[in-house]
Structures are given as structure tokens and as C-alpha cells.
Amino acid sequence: MSGPTRTSHPEPILHVDMDAFYASVEQLDDPALTGAPVAVGSPSGRGVVAAASYEARAFGVRSAMPMVRARRLCPGLIVVPPRFARYREVSGQLMAVLRDVTPLVEPLSLDEAFLDVGGAVQLFGDPPAIGAAIRIRVRSELGLPCSVGVGPTKSIAKLLSGLAKPDGLLHWPAAEVTTRLRPLPVQLLWGAGPRTTERLVEHGLTTIGDVADTDVRLLRRVVGESLGGQLHALAHGIDPRGVEPAQEARSVSAETTFDEDVDDPVVLERRLQRLATDVTRRLRAQGLAARTVTVKVRLADHRDMTRSQTLPRPTDRTHELVATGQALLRSLRLERSRVRLVGFRLSGLGTPDAVTQLALLDDEGEATEADGHVPGERWEALDRAADAIVARYGAPSVSFASLLDDEEHPEAASHSDADSSASGVSGSDDG
Ligand SMILES: [Mg+2]
């Protein structure tokens, strides 16, 4: 009588993450790089490391590190310029392998994704077996190593893929999660960035077990209302977030409703800058560029005003997109108006212009930019460094300098529109 049933499993979540992705692709495509210390990034002195091979990591080279420092640490370092079109191509192959297992695939960036394999168990075996099979397929079809975490929740699966690196798989049975979490350092909790970690340690909370044993009201006082509750739950292995399969993004956006209507143009502009920076980071995390920038404002009387501008070519550069948004905001002439909501949206999505990318990496081209603005490559380096730091520590730790005095709770700062399928902020190739 019974039809096919979804077999539930206590540990249905997989996190699949390529190892040193950009660097591994370069080693795959150029056999001369196999076994060599490789850093992907601009060879010029001002660049930062976008990805380092494990051979380079042995010398202390890390992503987001200035290339000058990386070369000092590792004199034999081979620096290879990034080829994003190639990384997107390999990313497509990876996601195709994952979607063969289940349609419930949530990409976090080009080289990592969550899967919910609860419904695939009858077909393919238990989740650790599925994880092992994925690793074999990725190795044989892409020629590249990846690591897999298997657990009851997204945060545990992500933690485990990190601990499994390089080229490994870790699985924790649900019943053992809280015990196994206890001795680990607090910074391994998802959402515990450097400042949060510092505050926790100041209060004597150095392990995840310490956080689990602390009254949630005290945690809320130490790290803030929302994060306190979240860290307490995560320390107990509780994470209700499900895997959300991404549709093809048609736009990426965020908007903020103010607690109180705002009539200060400086406050408004800063908030727009913050939203735009966040949205642009999510754009890059998906390997995309945008042509159209839209700014929306809702006035205190609930009237909406929008302005859009379409650029001559697609771009993923923060400074360009943010500046366009600011110009649009100014063009609304809101000086006397009370504003209830501000939003920022990027559409006309496509892949970054290959010609533009080449130009960004070309030192000679920059020398001709004599008007004093920062050359393209430096913006690219800044963007990628910021992305890498965000990927490692979470969004609140990086922003434009002018935002640094604008302390707010990050969770209140932006909410995605329903039409935005972007998720996660991981834009670096961090392991
Ligand atoms: Mg990775």
C-alpha cells in the first residue's frame, strides 16, 4: 500500500567544500604546479592572496594576506593570476554532481554547498556513505579534492568539513554532538567573529561547553540579544535553519526599515552604503556581475520612490556599484523628507566581463589612470580581501572606513527581499 516515503535520518545535512579551490584548479590545469607552493592573486606587489595551495600554507601563507608578505614567508611561492571564468566552469561541474544526489542543494559560494540528503537515503545509502561517494565522484570527474562534513544541522556539517580538511570526511552522530562540541574553542561556533570571541573569552568562556553552560540571559548581555540566543542554541547543537535550494538569481537585494523615521541624509547615505556593500559581496560570492543598480526609498507616509541606472557594462566592483547607488539616492533629493525604509538592488546579472577582468589585472593600464582615483586592481584586491575576511569572521567585522563609527546590530542591518536567492556571504576561497 505504501508509496515511496522520505526516509528521515538523524544526520541528513552535508557540507561539501573544495580544498584550496582556486589554487587546486590552477594545479590541475598546469601539471608544473603540482606539489608546488601556489598562491592565486595578482602578481603585482599590491595584491592579496585569494587562495593558497596546501604546499604554500605549510609556509604560513593564507588567503587575504598581502602578496608581499606571502612572498616573504615563502620565497619559492608561485603566484598565478586568477581565472574566474574557469573557476565558475568548475563550480558548475561541482554543483551538477551535487544535484545528481538531491535537488536540495544550497550553494554558499562557487566551491561549497549544503545538501539535505534525508530523502536520498533509500536510493544512495546513509549520509556518510553519500558523502564518501560525492568525494570519489568529485575526485574522478573534476580531478579535485574536497572535504565533507556530515551532521544533524548546517552549522555542525560546516564545522566538520572544516575540521576534515584537507581531503577528508567527518561525521558526528546526532546523539554525540553536544558532548563532542564541548572541548572545542568558542570561535568555531558559527557567528562567533573575532570581537564576539574576544568578549566571550573576557568573560571566561573559552570553550563551546562554557557557552553551553552559561545562562542565556548572561550571554545576551555579553554579546547582544540575538547573537547571545543563537550562540547558546548552537553550543547545544541546536540549529533550526534548513537547506534552502537556490534558484537562478535574477536580482540580489537588501533593504532596511528604520526603527524611527530618518531625516538625516548622512545617516541615510551610510545605511545605503552598508546595504550596497553587503549586496555586492553576495553578488561576487556567486561569481556574478550586475549592470543595473536600483535604489528604493519609502517615505514616512508610505510612498515609495525608486531610481535605477544601467551601467555600460556588468561589474562586480564594490566602489562602482556603491557610488552609483549613492548618486541615485542624491538624485531623489530627500533633504527634508522623513524616510522609513531604504533598499538597494542589483539586477541585469551576468558574468563579469572578461575584458574588464584582464584590464583590472594589467599594471600598465592602471598607470594611465591619472585622475587620482584608486586603480581598478586595488579595488579588486580590497574587495577580495574584504570578502575573505567576511567569509572567515562574518559580516560585521568589515565595512568601509566611513561606516566604522556606525555601530549597529548586524542582524538588524539587512534583510533580503523575497526575490533574492542569494544566501551566505562566503566569497573567498578559504580552504
Ligand atoms: Mg573551499
Same domain, 147 and 206: no
Query: 325 C-alpha vs ligand 1 centroid, how far in Å?
Result: 31
Same domain, 270 and 389: yes
Q: Does residue 152 carry a pLDDT above 70?
A: yes
Find the CATH number of the domain harbouring 346. 3.30.1490.100
The set of residues, in sequence order, having a beta carbon less than 8 Å from that of 103 and lying 6+ positions away, is 245
Question: Which residue is catalytic, options 55, 106, 112, 380?
Answer: 112
Residues facing residue 115 across a β-bridge: 14, 105
Same domain, 196 and 291: no
The answer as to whether 129 is a domain residue is yes
The answer as to whether 375 is a domain residue is yes
Q: Does residue 403 carry a pLDDT above 50?
A: no
Query: 124 C-alpha vs ligand 1 centroid, how far in Å?
Result: 25
Query: 110 C-alpha vs ligand 1 centroid, how far in Å?
Result: 8
The pLDDT-based confidence of 219 (bands split at 50, 70, 90) is very high
* pLDDT tens column, 104-130: 999 988 999 999 999 888 888 999 999
Chain centroid, CA 410 distance in Å: 15
Last residue of a domain, one of 143, 171, 199: 171
Q: Looking at residue 248, what is its pLDDT?
A: 59
The pLDDT-based confidence of 56 (bands split at 50, 70, 90) is very high
Same domain, 308 and 200: no
- Segment among 76-80, 175-179, 192-196, 407-411 with least mean pLDDT: 407-411
Please count the structural domains in the chain: 3
The answer as to whether 245 is a domain residue is no
Residue 248, number of CB atoms within 10 A of its CB:
7
Q: Looking at residue 168, what is its pLDDT?
A: 97
Cβ-based burial of 303 (10 A; exposed 0-12, middle 13-18, buried ≥19): exposed
The pLDDT-based confidence of 292 (bands split at 50, 70, 90) is very high
The answer as to whether 39 is a domain residue is yes
* pLDDT tens column, 339-372: 999 999 998 877 665 434 433 433 333 322 333 3
Query: 193 C-alpha vs ligand 1 centroid, how far in Å?
Result: 19
Same domain, 212 and 302: no
The answer as to whether 1 is a domain residue is no
Report the distance separating Cα 189 and Cα 6, nearest Å.
Answer: 30
* pLDDT tens column, 304-328: 899 999 888 888 888 999 999 999 9
C-alpha cell at 334: 530627500
Structural domain range at position 350: 251-416
Same domain, 342 and 255: yes
Residues facing residue 259 across a β-bridge: none
Same domain, 18 and 155: yes
DSSP 8-state code for residue 287: T
The answer as to whether 147 is a domain residue is yes
Find the CATH number of the domain harbouring 18. 3.30.70.270
Same domain, 208 and 263: no
Clarify whether 112 is annotated catalytic. yes
Which element (helix H / strand E) includes 195?
helix 194-202
Same domain, 23 and 161: yes
Q: Looking at residue 211, what is its pLDDT?
A: 97
Find the CATH number of the domain harbouring 204. 1.10.150
Q: Looking at residue 344, what is its pLDDT?
A: 95
Report the distance separating Cα 285 and Cα 295, nearest Å.
Answer: 21
Same domain, 288 and 362: yes
The answer as to whether 22 is a domain residue is yes
Average pLDDT, the chain: 81
At 52 the three-state DSSP class reads: strand
Provide the residue type at 52 as one letter.
A
The pLDDT-based confidence of 3 (bands split at 50, 70, 90) is very low
Same domain, 359 and 405: yes
Query: 41 C-alpha vs ligand 1 centroid, how far in Å?
Result: 16
Chain centroid, CA 279 distance in Å: 11
Give me the mean pLDDT over the 88-97 stretch.
Answer: 94
Report the distance separating Cα 225 and Cα 217, nearest Å.
Answer: 8
* pLDDT tens column, 238-281: 998 899 886 656 788 888 888 889 999 899 999 999 999 989 98
Same domain, 69 and 121: yes
The answer as to whether 2 is a domain residue is no
Q: What are phi and psi of 391, to 5 degrees?
A: -60, -35
Give me the mean pLDDT over the 375-392 stretch.
Answer: 61
